[in-house]
Amino acid sequence: MFKLPEQAILFEESHFNAKIRQCPNCSLKWFQIFTEFLNSKGDNQTFVFIPITDDDDVSIRQCKSESALISCISSIAKLRRYLVMHYPGEEASRVAWTSSDLHIGYHD
């Protein structure tokens, strides 16, 4: 996932970023969102990868605020399965496909 070339960077902060990536082989686009926060259990990182259409791409790029972006991407995520990679500090990482509602957590 991380090797897919970046097509657009919507937000780029140390504890929050949002990007559109595209597969060079099949042209499939992916929306990636990253959040991170520190607590007593350590460094909590979550990456979400959602396959998107060209129409989704247009909608996503129009979001100028984090809240608008999360609202947009949450409605897109309802329509398909997506990949969540969760690294909760010292606990075991969890990587899974899901179709449950998207929850973008708190970040520092």
Residue ranges binding Zn ion (CB under 5 A): 23, 25-26, 28
What is the spatial distance between Cα 103 and Cα 98, in angstroms, rounded to a whole number? 11
Tokens of 28: 């499939």
**3 state DSSP class of 94:** strand
Return the number of the residue (3 or 64) whose C-beta is nearest Zn ion: 3
Task: Tell the smallest beta-carbon distance from residue 52 to Zn ion (Å).
Answer: 13
Task: Tell the smallest beta-carbon distance from residue 21 to Zn ion (Å).
Answer: 10
Task: Tell the smallest beta-carbon distance from residue 51 to Zn ion (Å).
Answer: 10
Strands (E) located in 1-108: 6-12, 16-22, 29-39, 42-52, 82-88, 94-98
Return the number of the residue (5 or 67) whose C-beta is nearest Zn ion: 5
Return the number of the residue (23 or 70) whose C-beta is nearest Zn ion: 23
